[in-house]
Amino acid sequence: MKIAIGALLYEGNSFSLGESGIDQFENNYFYQGDEIIEKLSGGDVELSGALAVLKEAACEIQPLFATHGGCGGSIREEAFQTLKSNLLAGLAGEKVDGVYLALHGAMLCKNIAHPEVEILQEVRKRVGPNVPVVISLDLHAHITPELLALCTAVVGYQHYPHDDTFETGVRGMRLLIHAMQPTSTVRVEMKKLAMLISPTAASTHSPTTMRDLYKRCRALEALPGILAVSYFPLTPWAEYPDGGTAFVLVADEKAPPTRPLLDDLCRHLWDIRDRFIPRLFTLEEALNDSLSHPGNPIILSEMSDAVGAGSTGDSVSVLKAYIQQGRTETLLVQVVDPQVVEQATQYGIGSNNEYQIGHKVEVRNGGPALLRAEVVGFHSGEFTYTGGIMAGITSSVGRSVVLKAGHITLFVTSKPAYEYGAEQYSAAGLELHNYRYVVVKNPMNYRKTLAWAKQLYALDSPGSARADLTKLEWMRAARPFYPIDDSETPLYR
């Protein structure tokens, strides 16, 4: 059997002012053809898991293209067309028996309604309607009937924070090999609620409501013929007219009736919808509450500016609010501002000058922070992910500078990059335990990776990825949908 494999992942944020080009994909991993086998075998991403299965199955591999652009506002159209062409090039004139693609599901590109659907339509043109095509998706994907109609089977990440990318590749490839058997009758079904969930309240790792949903889906997979059950609470920051939370079930001829199973999952989730309202703190509330938690560090999550949720990473809203509070405890905060990095580079180590920091791209929530600071160090920006969707991948935040303004330390970077744990700080020699307060910019990962900290606070701060979904400026989502609207009976798409 000859199996084509590829990956093209990107998570969009329609509330963000950021745009992404090819360079953002090249900043992570960007492999064509045989490079995929050479570079990703033995790794931790989806294609690493798929390759491990293919090695055991002794299949012939047709490597296409593999890249991950992380997150941002939207991909520039010319960049998307180049990426799509790279992926499809390996299918030109090739006859394959199956296709496995690792996609995200919530990619955004101006003037293209659903980029993943367009990719799959082009794949189908090349391989025909009968070749099995299996895709794996991020848990926060946008699921539609059009997407499923182009696939033989779909599987999603089971965990949030995402630490099961390798396992997802294994599951996806095993499903594909199952679907390629001559007697296979694999089918895929979905049902979708008009309900969006704030990711900060949706961890599957601790005893939470989402963990209960995880267990229910794993229990269904123990039934005969139920090959995979996935939940897809769409990232709420990628706004679609028909956005919501979908359940996708993959089954074969041995399965019991599947529609009641999907109905039960939807009704259960709707009945517990209020449990997904996140507990958020204003900065003042967090600082006051932290007085009863001695020791370092106290983690302040400015998730509204999370690059990993598509924001620009240049917010200084929390920094300015901290200064206004008049607190004198040490604070560490990261900001994307290439102009400041350039200025500091010209001034040099030991210089002390005034800087206008942050809010250069995201300009809707106030102006820059004006600070006099000393240049105490530079860093290349390179770091390696220790877990998550790009575990083991080396990336970069670009040339960076460490500035010190009294009790405040700023790590100012040239480029935004998805934040998993403390890798970016640590690579620059900034150890979190040396600071009383540390600002991180991710909506959920910190709860796992920084669980050792003295206390964790999710802040209700302004930005394009704010956790309180009722405070976003919705423009396209068809009403009614939860949590903007409510109903005793489930609202469906």
Instruction: Tell me whether residue 256 is in a domain.
Output: yes
Give yes or no: residues 265 and 189 share one domain.
yes
- Among residues 261, 276, 291, the one where a domain terminates is 276
Q: Which residue in this structure is represented by tokens 């593999």?
A: 66
Pick from 428, 420, 425: which is nearest to 380 by CA? 428
Residue 164's pLDDT band (boundaries 50, 70, 90)? very high
Tell me the mean pLDDT in the region 250-275: 97
pLDDT tens for 117-139 read 999 999 999 999 999 999 999 99
Instruction: Tell me whether residue 491 is in a domain.
Output: no
CB 218 within 8 A of CB 171: no
Instruction: Tell me whether residue 359 is in a domain.
Output: yes
Give yes or no: residues 267 and 331 share one domain.
no
- Among residues 276, 308, 339, the one where a domain terminates is 276
CB 353 within 8 A of CB 397: no
Domain enclosing residue 233, as ranges: 2-276
CA distance 308 to 158: 18
Give yes or no: residues 201 and 343 share one domain.
no
**Looking at 104-212, which runs of residues are DSSP E strands?**
133-137, 153-156, 187-193
Cis before 236 (ω within 30): no
- Residue 176 CA, distance from chain mean position: 24
pLDDT given for residue 2 in this prediction: 97
- Its pTM stands at 0.95
Number of helices (H), then strands (E), in the chain:
14, 21
**3 state DSSP class of 252:** coil
pLDDT given for residue 318 in this prediction: 97
Tell me the mean pLDDT in the region 348-369: 96
pLDDT given for residue 207 in this prediction: 81
Residue 64's pLDDT band (boundaries 50, 70, 90)? very high
Residue 299's pLDDT band (boundaries 50, 70, 90)? very high
Query: Exposure string (b/e) for 56-88, b if CB count within 10 Å is 16 or more?
Result: eeebebbbbbbbbbbbbbbbbeebbeebbebbb
pLDDT given for residue 242 in this prediction: 98
Pick from 70, 89, 78, 84: which is nearest to 26 by CA? 70
Pick from 163, 114, 119: which is nearest to 12 by CA? 114
**3 state DSSP class of 458:** strand
Instruction: Tell me whether residue 287 is in a domain.
Output: yes
Give yes or no: residues 11 and 65 share one domain.
yes
Instruction: Tell me whether residue 169 is in a domain.
Output: yes
Number of domains in the chain: 2
Residue 93's pLDDT band (boundaries 50, 70, 90)? confident
Instruction: Tell me whether residue 246 is in a domain.
Output: yes
Give yes or no: residues 287 and 271 share one domain.
no
Phi/psi of residue 371, nearest 5 degrees: -140, 140
pLDDT given for residue 205 in this prediction: 86
Angle at 274 between CA 269 and CA 277, to 5 degrees: 115
Give yes or no: residues 101 and 155 share one domain.
yes
Q: Which residue in this structure is represented by tokens 């889906």?
A: 217
Instruction: Tell me whether residue 482 is in a domain.
Output: no
CB 262 within 8 A of CB 250: no
Judge whether residue 250 has pLDDT over 90.
Answer: yes
CA distance 484 to 469: 8
| Helices 115-127 and 77-89, axial angle in degrees (round to 10) | 30
Give yes or no: residues 23 and 90 share one domain.
yes
Q: What is the DSSP letter of 109?
A: B
CB 85 within 8 A of CB 205: no
Angle at 197 between CA 192 and CA 203, to 5 degrees: 115
Give yes or no: residues 205 and 305 share one domain.
no
489 is written with which tokens?
Answer: 């009976």
Sheet order of strands, 245-251 included? 187-193, 245-251, 226-233
pLDDT given for residue 206 in this prediction: 79
Pick from 302, 308, 190: which is nearest to 250 by CA? 190
Give yes or no: residues 266 and 289 share one domain.
no
pLDDT tens for 169-216 read 999 999 999 999 999 999 999 999 999 999 999 999 878 899 999 999
pLDDT given for residue 94 in this prediction: 86
Query: Which amino acid would we find at residue 111?
Result: N
Tell me the mean pLDDT in the region 446-458: 95
Instruction: Tell me whether residue 493 is in a domain.
Output: no
Q: What is the DSSP letter of 459?
A: B
Give yes or no: residues 217 and 290 share one domain.
no
Pick from 459, 468, 474, 72: which is nearest to 303 by CA? 459
**Burial zone of 474 (CB within 10 Å; 0-12 exposed, 13-18 middle, 19+ buried):** middle
Q: Count Cβ atoms below 10 Å from residue 55 Cβ, excluding itself.
A: 12
Q: What is the mean pLDDT of the chain?
A: 96
Judge whether residue 48 has pLDDT over 90.
Answer: yes
pLDDT tens for 391-450 read 999 999 999 999 999 999 999 999 999 999 999 999 999 999 999 999 999 988 899 999
Give yes or no: residues 270 and 288 share one domain.
no
pLDDT given for residue 372 in this prediction: 98
Give yes or no: residues 44 and 176 share one domain.
yes
- Among residues 276, 306, 325, the one where a domain terminates is 276
